[in-house]
Chain A
């Protein structure tokens, strides 16, 4: 059984080999109580399918939107998200935090 991490990397390669556009998002910096540790990955394909997690849910929707834009434009981007207390509450996190996420296209 491959680890969750290898599953994500393998999924990225499978989608790319199948001719789909693929973007990889990575947590590169965190402030406060971040829901997922530095290095966490989310991989997204051009059809909006995704695997992995960079936030435990609260910012995934926005990261997927940005990942689709990264696939379309080919340009990497560095984004910062505040995990607001309100949203954090919705997904069961005790408090807010900030994360910096790097999104790159697999070329």
Chain B
């Protein structure tokens, strides 16, 4: 790979856009293709470009031809996790999710909770949860988890998340807490969407410690991402 192509690949990654590096394995000719631009010394035919478009959308690397000569490495932007509530469980969940490759943002307008001392190296957003989530625009590669335990923060966050195509929406709280939450969300006119909320949040592993609950939440997010919401 030419170093200029590597520099461009890193720049597109930094801009969080999907990009494909296509290589002809027999001679090393390459082209870097993203939504705006193609640069390199390899020309693809119409069928290969069509396959590549599908691969880009699905984020799936692989060969583009039956001969096994044209390989496309798809670099998809990181999957995102938005955590509402800078609470104890968040202190465990955020670093675990980052290790698993998620780009994590913690949303909490309460400055006492959302201090960088409690959350070193983690991106914090001090906006009100509904506005913060609307601004961060969850897509189909985003999970949203509400952990604040405060309906003033969690309810608007859930309403904003339900208005998005987020692949996972989870809410902390017991079954009883969740029943009350569902009543409040119904009053907001969200009846049709309520089935998308995973609550109580996380797989039922039986753990009680914040780190154990964080594992259960991350495990459920991973399962839904790869296997879908059906149990």
Cβ of A39 and Cβ of B9 under 8 Å apart? no
User: Is A6 at the interface (CB under 8 A from chain B)?
Assistant: yes
User: Is B127 at the interface (CB under 8 A from chain A)?
Assistant: no
Cβ of A107 and Cβ of B68 under 8 Å apart? no
Cβ of B25 and Cβ of A28 under 8 Å apart? yes
Residues of A within 8 A of B23 (CB): 102, 104
User: Is A34 at the interface (CB under 8 A from chain B)?
Assistant: no
Stretch from B41-49, B71-79, B85-93, B197-205 contacting the other chain: B71-79
Residues of B within 8 A of A102 (CB): 23, 25, 71
Tell me which of B3, B13, B71 contacts A107 (CB under 8 A): B3
Tell me if A's interface is mostly helix, strand, loop or mixed: mixed
Cβ of B1 and Cβ of A107 under 8 Å apart? yes
User: Is A4 at the interface (CB under 8 A from chain B)?
Assistant: yes
Cβ of B6 and Cβ of A39 under 8 Å apart? no
Cβ of A1 and Cβ of B1 under 8 Å apart? no
Residue of A nearest to B122 (CB): A1
CB distance from B135 to the nearest CB of A (A): 21
CB distance from A29 to the nearest CB of B (A): 7
Cβ of B2 and Cβ of A38 under 8 Å apart? no
Cβ of B25 and Cβ of A13 under 8 Å apart? no
Query: Which residues from 2 to 22 on chain A have a C-beta closer than 8 Å to any C-beta of chain B?
Result: 3-6, 9-10, 12-13, 16
Residues of A within 8 A of B103 (CB): 3
Give A106 to B143 CA distance when docked, in angstroms. 36
Residue of B nearest to A9 (CB): B10
CB distance from B42 to the nearest CB of A (A): 13
Tell me which of B10, B13, B27, B73 contacts A39 (CB under 8 A): B73
User: Is B98 at the interface (CB under 8 A from chain A)?
Assistant: yes
Residues of A within 8 A of B74 (CB): 39
Residue of B nearest to A75 (CB): B28
Interface size class of A (residues with CB under 8 A): 20 to 34
Give A107 to B29 CA distance when docked, in angstroms. 13
User: Is A78 at the interface (CB under 8 A from chain B)?
Assistant: yes
Cβ of B10 and Cβ of A10 under 8 Å apart? yes
CB distance from A16 to the nearest CB of B (A): 5
Query: Which residues from 47 to 92 on chain B have a C-beta closer than 8 Å to any C-beta of chain A?
Result: 61-63, 68, 71, 73-75, 78
Cβ of B9 and Cβ of A16 under 8 Å apart? no
Residues of B within 8 A of A16 (CB): 3, 6
User: Is A68 at the interface (CB under 8 A from chain B)?
Assistant: no
Cβ of A28 and Cβ of B10 under 8 Å apart? no
B interface list, Cβ under 8 A from A: 1-3, 6-7, 9-10, 13-14, 23, 25, 27-28, 61-63, 68, 71, 73-75, 78, 98, 101, 103, 121
CB-defined A-B contacts under 8 Å, sample of 19: A5-B13, A5-B75, A9-B6, A9-B9, A9-B13, A12-B6, A16-B6, A28-B25, A28-B71, A29-B68, A38-B61, A76-B25, A78-B25, A100-B68, A102-B23, A102-B25, A104-B1, A106-B6, A107-B2
Known contacts A9-B9, A29-B71, then 4 further A-B pairs from the complex at CB < 8 Å, ordered by chain A residue:
A5-B13, A16-B6, A28-B63, A104-B23
